[in-house]
Structure 1
Amino acid sequence: MLISCSANTSSKLIANSSGITDSLEFINYFKVKMPIIKTPVFKKDTFDISKSGAKGDGIFLNTKIINDAISKCSNNGGGVVSVPGGIWLTGPIYMKSNVNLHIKRDAILQFTKDKSQYKLIEGNWEGKPSVRNESPISGSDLENIAITGKGIIDGNGDVWRSVKKDKLTESQWKNLLKSGGLVGEDNKTWYPSASYLKGDKTENSSVLVAGKSLADYADMKDFFRPNLLVLTRCKKVLLEDVTFQNSPAWCLHPLMCEDLTLRGVYAKNPFYAQNGDGVDVESCKNVMIENSTFDVGDDGICIKSGRDADGRKRGMPTENLIARNNVVYHAHGGFVIGSEMSGGARNLFVYNNSFIGTDIGLRFKTTRGRGGVVEKIYISDINMKDIAGEAILFDMYYAAKDPVPLAGEIREAPKVQLIPVTEETPQFKDFHIRNISCDGASKAIFIRGLPEMNIDNIYLENLTIQANEGVELTEASNITIKNLNLLIAKSNPLISINNSKNISFDGLKSFTDIKPLMNISGDKTSGVQLSNSSISSSKDKITYSAGASSKALTIK
């Protein structure tokens, strides 16, 4: 459900949350409609697990007692299942409708290291059906559920993960080797078990093959790392104030859910946690992510909608999402769309967020084969500091690698070739981004589309960015950049434009004297405009190459 920005709806729009003034300013500027997100309501009946024989000593396995309490609560019309102070060791927990699992401030819900407690199931991984171990917390086709409280949920992820040597200090690597496991042939990756290693080295090991049973995958069981929390096709979901940490793979994975709220959540993973995303919102509708903190090993806040043919067949975009007042520390990206976006994404409203120490700030990624359309994206008032890579990145050549190359790593640019547009061709278009401040990045803006499908209709306004390098645009169309203020450390061309058309820079300002102002390349480049610039645009500051000519540029 969407509502317009009329005054009589503003109280509904901002119900149970802060930032009314900022939200209304956002709505009025972009002239957008915003979703109403319904939240669950519960009976006051409380089921304390300690009164049913559970023991918070970190040794006793409480799996049955906790699940019995959840079932009893749900069967009695719902209420609160309370986890009091203590360390509550448990195996997989199954959520039920009308239940609020409440973790007290001094409680740790600790999932067991015993992998035999987690059954192999037919699950979902990176947008495709696949073999997985069941998640520590899961639920399907539920309504009116919550996990709340200021306590900690720990997934014991270290017993599941492989670790790359390059991400650890020498001392950390030596200690890891002493803990057991084994090292791969390249001597650069540690594996927790031979079972994991076999799965890692087996092509398409997690693909569900017709005629095979789950038992046929048992010798690779350890490789199928579960996400810490998976909720599938659930309605009216609330995650509030809880710390979710140490996940085996993704931390929070709502899949095909509706009316989802994350408020005051802290998602925390080691920086070396491969696939250790904070939250992956996949094919969900009506979502609020606010006042939350992410410090993880992969993407922070990530929007997905299925992968390739499976995602297109599902055909469920992530839509009507608000992400505001969040902080992302270490992550591959602060706010991210893709790369599994085959079902599309639209009507995403992102504002008043801070990214500190992330690899990339705003990260939008896809690749050929995905298909899907990402559009109607509205972003405002983003603060960034110490960004290792790009402050703003659009890339249609995603290659499933860490966004920042390791020391000494050389990456070749992808081979550019024109191929026909099909249902497998992804699209990024209609993005509106304004009021961006970035104190430190490797590159200010990077936009790289496909020759057969340019990144199109991108509007950037009021950006102040300190970075090593400036702006690079390739295979982009209808890009408007207004009031861009740059403090650039290196004297590469401030702006590089390749095979792009209808590119407008209005109000460009540089705080440093950059002599190579602009390089225009490619015989397809046309309609570049530079107006109201504070930078001298004399001919010696503009170069042309690879078939481009001065006809491509107009200076006003």
Structure 2
Amino acid sequence: MSAIEVKTANQIFMNNFRLIFASLIISLAITVNAQPKETDPFNHLPVVKEPVFKNDTLSILKYGAVNDGVTLNTIPINQAIAASSKNGGGVVLIPEGMWLTGPIELKSNVNLHLQKNALLQFTKDLNQYKLVEGNWEGVAQMRNQSPIWANDEENIAITGYGIIDGAGDVWRMVKKDKLTESQWKARIASGGLVNEEKKIWYPSEKTFKGAAMKDPGLITPNKSAAFYDSIKDFLRPNLLVLNNCKRILLEGVIFQNSPAWNLHPLLCSDLTVRNVYVKNPRYAQNGDGIDIESCKNVLIEGSTFDVGDDGICIKSGRDAAGRKRGIPTENVIIRNSTVYHAHGGFVIGSEMSGGAKNIYITDCTFIGTDIGLRFKTTRGRGGIVEGIYARNINMKDIVGEAILFDMYYAAVDPIVLSGEKRVAPQIKVVPVTEETPIFRDFHISNIVCDGASKAIFIRGLPELSISDIYFNHLTIKSKEGIDLQEAKNIQLNHINLIVEQSKPPIRIQNGNNVSYKNLDPATRSLLIK
């Protein structure tokens, strides 16, 4: 082979090699680009279906409802709802005025619509609420019939501009320490009873009797109808209970003054809560705003909560009953909402035995709540809470912790009342079983808090730590900083703590793999000290 032929062969070989190498590079680039990239979970939110109704409108006036605040309109309102549903549904209209009523049952394909200046006032006559088998704090119990309720219905709504009032004060016991002196005196003057310590007022003998028992409403074979009747007043209903319903809309209405929880969707799917105002007195025992229990596909937006207990709360059953049910609350979106007074702004637990996952809370404001983000449970619950995403939360004047994870929940108010004494939980190791709750995989970012007692408190169990919590871009002004106990795989990234006390801003007890990245210089200098 001549020199020219050798050179030509070499050129051909090199050209082919370049083509093969270039093809490999392109193929590799395509393969790399084809790999799934980490995406913002808020870009892939669950879809929540809304109900659709016929245009037909039926006024309760057609069935003889009387606007005088005295006449009981239970029958005409329920007749209008039943007739509308039977005819394919539509709007049942509550005109402006005060409409006194007993319990109302929602039916499929009906939109109960309140006009402006309409007040749907539930009666204070407790005899109008019959005892029924219901659910309380995740367990099957006898309860008084809820003012508004539905079982196994679909395509239902409560909309409009009016007010729904549950007459809660006639039901509730009240702690003296939650009232002013004049309010307390007014309660005593109204009748009822007080306990031996003169610290709690009860509206009736039946309430007083029930309060002295443990789980008196629990359904057991040895309890007779006469027994339940003897404590009937204690078995307070939730204002609105929707059980196993589909495609629900609550929009525009004010829900207030509930005997117990305000809004309680249970085992529901495709629930939309939009632009509602939920309020209870600050002294309202168990006066939660909304408790979403074992539900799937939920959207809460543009709403305001100012209540006596937890504001927006996620639940899924209690202890063995919740684990047996085994239905988590999942695919929940909470956005553009405000919580004023509440034990917690956004809360998961403590009854979360069926689990909770894929919860998204964004662009919300908490003002004056006891705790901002509150995640609570205790031994015996079991259940897994995971895949929780909270971002863009503004907080102001938080009484306790801005962010709290606690596996020692003891069914008491988060803030110690004046003169109240509490004993710290006994720390001991017990075997991990199905009763051991699990908190993991929380993503909390873009939090601004102006004022709290403590920035972050995490308290896991010695047998099973709270794990995999990712904090990113937090600015918190508080008396104390961060307290981590029995926690692992905790990431603190872009944290700015402005603490008043001279204690170390970050305290770790039995922590594992706690990392700090990009701490604000002021926070870093506090750590160095």
TM-score, reference length from structure 2 = 0.91
The alignment status of 1:96 with 2:138, answered yes or no, reads no
- The aligned residue for residue 203 of structure 1 is 214
- The aligned residue for residue 535 of structure 1 is 525
- The aligned residue for residue 185 of structure 2 is 174
Out of 200, 220, 242, the position equivalent to 1:189 is 200
- The aligned residue for residue 426 of structure 1 is 437
| 1:41-79 Cα distance to aligned partner (Å, 9 max, x none) | 000111101232111110010000000000000000000
**Corresponding letter in the other structure for 1:179:** S
C-alpha distance in structure 2 between counterparts of 1:186 and 1:158, whole Å = 22
C-alpha distance in structure 2 between counterparts of 1:446 and 1:118, whole Å = 42
Q: Any conservation in 1 of the 2:504–2:527 contact (CA below 8 Å)?
A: no
User: Structure 1 residues 68-77 or 48-57, which shifts more?
Assistant: 48-57
**Corresponding letter in the other structure for 1:238:** L
Q: Any conservation in 2 of the 1:298–1:331 contact (CA below 8 Å)?
A: yes
| 1:267-318 Cα distance to aligned partner (Å, 9 max, x none) | 0100000000000000000000000000000000000000000000000000
Aligned residues: 492
C-alpha distance in structure 1 between counterparts of 2:526 and 2:132, whole Å = 63
**Corresponding letter in the other structure for 1:260:** L
C-alpha distance in structure 1 between counterparts of 2:394 and 2:374, whole Å = 14
C-alpha distance in structure 2 between counterparts of 1:213 and 1:320, whole Å = 40
Q: Any conservation in 1 of the 2:51–2:155 contact (CA below 8 Å)?
A: yes
Q: Any conservation in 2 of the 1:507–1:534 contact (CA below 8 Å)?
A: no
Out of 239, 255, 259, the position equivalent to 1:244 is 255
C-alpha distance in structure 1 between counterparts of 2:234 and 2:434, whole Å = 32
What is the CA distance between 1:536 and its match in structure 2? 6.1
- The aligned residue for residue 144 of structure 1 is 155
C-alpha distance in structure 1 between counterparts of 2:426 and 2:88, whole Å = 59
What is the CA distance between 1:266 and its match in structure 2? 0.6
- The aligned residue for residue 473 of structure 1 is 484
What is the CA distance between 1:32 and its match in structure 2? 6.0
Out of 290, 296, 315, the position equivalent to 2:301 is 290
Q: State how 1:465-544 maps to structure 2 within 5 Å.
A: 465-509=476-520, 511=522, 534-535=524-525, 538=528, 541=529
- The aligned residue for residue 370 of structure 2 is 359
- The aligned residue for residue 108 of structure 1 is 119
Structure 1 runs of 4+ off > 4 angstroms? none
C-alpha distance in structure 1 between counterparts of 2:267 and 2:225, whole Å = 24
The alignment status of 1:409 with 2:417, answered yes or no, reads no
Q: State how 1:240-319 maps to structure 2 within 5 Å.
A: 240-319=251-330
Out of 321, 339, 348, the position equivalent to 2:350 is 339
Out of 20, 34, 48, the position equivalent to 2:45 is 34
C-alpha distance in structure 2 between counterparts of 1:429 and 1:237, whole Å = 30
- The aligned residue for residue 227 of structure 1 is 238
What is the CA distance between 1:409 and its match in structure 2? 3.1
Q: Any conservation in 2 of the 1:486–1:510 contact (CA below 8 Å)?
A: no
Identity score, percent: 64
Instruction: Quickly say closer, same or farther: Cα 1:429–1:71, change in 2 above 3 A.
Output: same
**Corresponding letter in the other structure for 1:507:** N
C-alpha distance in structure 1 between counterparts of 2:104 and 2:163, whole Å = 15
Q: State how 1:57-68 maps to structure 2 within 5 Å.
A: 57-68=68-79
**Corresponding letter in the other structure for 2:180:** T
| 1:389-424 Cα distance to aligned partner (Å, 9 max, x none) | 000000000000100111343433211111100000
- The aligned residue for residue 517 of structure 1 is none
| 1:256-275 Cα distance to aligned partner (Å, 9 max, x none) | 00000000011010000000
What is the CA distance between 1:31 and its match in structure 2? 6.8
**Corresponding letter in the other structure for 1:347:** N
Instruction: Quickly say closer, same or farther: Cα 1:31–1:350, change in 2 above 3 A.
Output: closer
Q: Any conservation in 2 of the 1:470–1:486 contact (CA below 8 Å)?
A: yes
| 1:493-542 Cα distance to aligned partner (Å, 9 max, x none) | 2111001100012122365xxxxxxxxxxxxxxxxxxxxx641655xx3x
TM-score, reference length from structure 1 = 0.87
Q: Any conservation in 2 of the 1:200–1:223 contact (CA below 8 Å)?
A: yes
SS at match of 1:342: coil
Instruction: Quickly say closer, same or farther: Cα 1:462–1:215, change in 2 above 3 A.
Output: same
- The aligned residue for residue 143 of structure 2 is 132
Q: Any conservation in 1 of the 2:174–2:201 contact (CA below 8 Å)?
A: yes
Q: Any conservation in 2 of the 1:120–1:214 contact (CA below 8 Å)?
A: no
- The aligned residue for residue 3 of structure 1 is none
| 1:203-224 Cα distance to aligned partner (Å, 9 max, x none) | 2211111143434310100000
- The aligned residue for residue 333 of structure 2 is 322
What is the CA distance between 1:154 and its match in structure 2? 0.2
SS at match of 1:387: coil
Out of 465, 485, 489, the position equivalent to 1:454 is 465
Q: Any conservation in 1 of the 2:493–2:518 contact (CA below 8 Å)?
A: yes
Q: Any conservation in 1 of the 2:504–2:526 contact (CA below 8 Å)?
A: no
Instruction: Quickly say closer, same or farther: Cα 1:295–1:31, change in 2 above 3 A.
Output: closer
Q: State how 1:71-82 maps to structure 2 within 5 Å.
A: 71-82=82-93
Instruction: Quickly say closer, same or farther: Cα 1:536–1:62, change in 2 above 3 A.
Output: closer
C-alpha distance in structure 1 between counterparts of 2:514 and 2:284, whole Å = 39
**Corresponding letter in the other structure for 1:413:** A
C-alpha distance in structure 2 between counterparts of 1:372 and 1:198, whole Å = 33
C-alpha distance in structure 1 between counterparts of 2:115 and 2:39, whole Å = 40
The alignment status of 1:51 with 2:62, answered yes or no, reads yes
- The aligned residue for residue 34 of structure 2 is none
C-alpha distance in structure 1 between counterparts of 2:61 and 2:526, whole Å = 73
What is the CA distance between 1:28 and its match in structure 2? 4.8
| 1:112-146 Cα distance to aligned partner (Å, 9 max, x none) | 00000000011100000001001000000001000
SS at match of 1:261: strand
Where structure 1 has 5 or more consecutive residues not aligned to the other structure, the ranges are 1-26, 512-532, 542-556
C-alpha distance in structure 1 between counterparts of 2:212 and 2:52, whole Å = 47
Give the greater-gyration-radius structure (CA): 2
Q: Any conservation in 2 of the 1:454–1:477 contact (CA below 8 Å)?
A: yes
What is the CA distance between 1:176 and its match in structure 2? 1.2
SS at match of 1:60: coil
Q: Any conservation in 2 of the 1:508–1:535 contact (CA below 8 Å)?
A: no
- The aligned residue for residue 21 of structure 1 is none
C-alpha distance in structure 2 between counterparts of 1:316 and 1:453, whole Å = 23
User: Structure 1 residues 183-192 or 201-210, which shifts more?
Assistant: 201-210
Q: Any conservation in 2 of the 1:83–1:102 contact (CA below 8 Å)?
A: yes
User: Structure 1 residues 115-124 or 196-205, which shifts more?
Assistant: 196-205
